[in-house]
Amino acid sequence: MPELAEVEFFRKQWNPGLGQAVRAVRVHAHARVFRGTDTTALRTALTGARLLSSAAAAKQMLFRFGDAKGHGHAGRAWLGVHLGMTGELRTEPSGYAPQKHDHLVLATGAGALVFTDPRMFGKIDFALGDTPPAWWTRLAPPILSEAFTVEAVAVFLRRRARAPIKAVLLMQERFPGIGNWMADEVLWRAAIHPKKPAGRLTPAEVRSLHRELRWVCRHALALVGKTLADPPRTWLFPHRWENGGLCPKTKQPLQRAEIGGRTTCWSPARQKL
């Protein structure tokens, strides 16, 4: 279920482990989530290391580990987590027995830090070093940062002029953290049809898109990022998969179709081509 705000919620689920030393590491070494990752190095480095801090950006999380004694820079390690479609982080009581889809479990004095992912579209990354890995540093500027300007959006839409705006909003290189539900929510609020080619948005629509992107990110983080609760019924979110769902603004029927390879919901009374 993870987009921007859900990722922030799951990041915090490992907070009980902050400051704790890792006593043991359980790994499903051959699970797809470890593709491209050296699980032996991961186990060696994290066993005995202390969890120092965590951060979330876009749909990524980064956990920083250091020496259990807190001195020296030898043994600094970084654990990257992407939740894919079905990934979750949670903390279980000490002594927890890993279940089928619990691909990584870090046993600490404050409980077991669990990464679970049935479909395994998620990914675990591991790196040693004094500085965060390059993939983390190179993430696009957050939508809620100063660097995310109307002009940056306009430039990007011009380059993707022929693609439907819905597909363009899913591109992480410009809209980090936006996923299927947030894209639909933003377009609905901005009153833009999801099939509209990105290059055909008017300047006013681009400004509106930029404004609603920031609005949805800010409020999703405040609601979903705190408790994982569904957004209220004044949002499109709870209506989009309902049979006979109605637009909460117009009270007219919602429509669904596959756009940009993803099922998309919109309000025809409000979003026109």
Partner DNA sequence: TCCTATGTTGTATG
Partner DNA sequence: ACATACAACATAGG
Residues belonging to the active site: 2-3, 59, 262
The contact mask relative to DNA for 206-245 (x = CB under 7 A, - = no) is: -----------------------------------x----
DSSP, residue by residue, 103-124? EEEEEETTEEEEEE-SS---EE
- State which of residues 101, 174, 189, 239 lies at the interface with DNA (CB under 7 A): 101
Integer-rounded Cα radius of gyration of the chain: 20
Binding to DNA, residues 72-91 (CB under 7 A): 82, 84-85
Round to whole Å and give the CA distance between 74 and 67.
7
**For residues 33 and 113, which CB has a smaller minimum distance to DNA in the complex?**
33
Maximum alpha-carbon separation in the chain: 63
Residue with tokens 């990934």: 87
Binding to DNA, residues 20-59 (CB under 7 A): 32, 58-59
**For residues 145 and 263, which CB has a smaller minimum distance to DNA in the complex?**
263
Q: Which amino acid is located at 203 in the chain?
A: P
Q: Does 185 bind DNA (CB under 7 A)?
A: no
Q: How far is the CB of 173 from DNA (least distance, A)?
A: 9
E runs forming strands in the chain: 22-27, 50-57, 60-66, 77-82, 88-92, 102-108, 111-116, 123-128, 255-259, 262-266
The contact mask relative to DNA for 156-175 (x = CB under 7 A, - = no) is: ---xxxxxx--xx-x-x---
Tell me the angle at which helices 150-159 and 203-227 cross, rounded to the nearest 10 degrees.
110
**For residues 159 and 272, which CB has a smaller minimum distance to DNA in the complex?**
159
Q: Does 195 bind DNA (CB under 7 A)?
A: no
Q: Which amino acid is located at 43 in the chain?
A: R
**For residues 24 and 155, which CB has a smaller minimum distance to DNA in the complex?**
155
- State which of residues 34, 126, 181, 235 lies at the interface with DNA (CB under 7 A): 181
Both tokens of residue 145?
Answer: 């940062």
121 phi-psi bin (left φ>0, alpha ψ -120 to 50, beta other)? alpha
Region binding DNA by CB under 7 A among candidate stretches 90-98, 103-111, 176-184, 245-253:
176-184
Region binding DNA by CB under 7 A among candidate stretches 42-50, 118-126, 200-208, 247-255:
118-126
157 CB-side CA count, 13 A: 23
- State which of residues 104, 110, 120, 192 lies at the interface with DNA (CB under 7 A): 120
- CB of 164 closer than 8 Å to CB of 260: yes
Residues that bind DNA (CB under 7 A): 1-3, 6, 32, 58-59, 82, 84-85, 100-101, 118-121, 159-164, 167-168, 170, 172, 179-181, 198, 241, 260-263
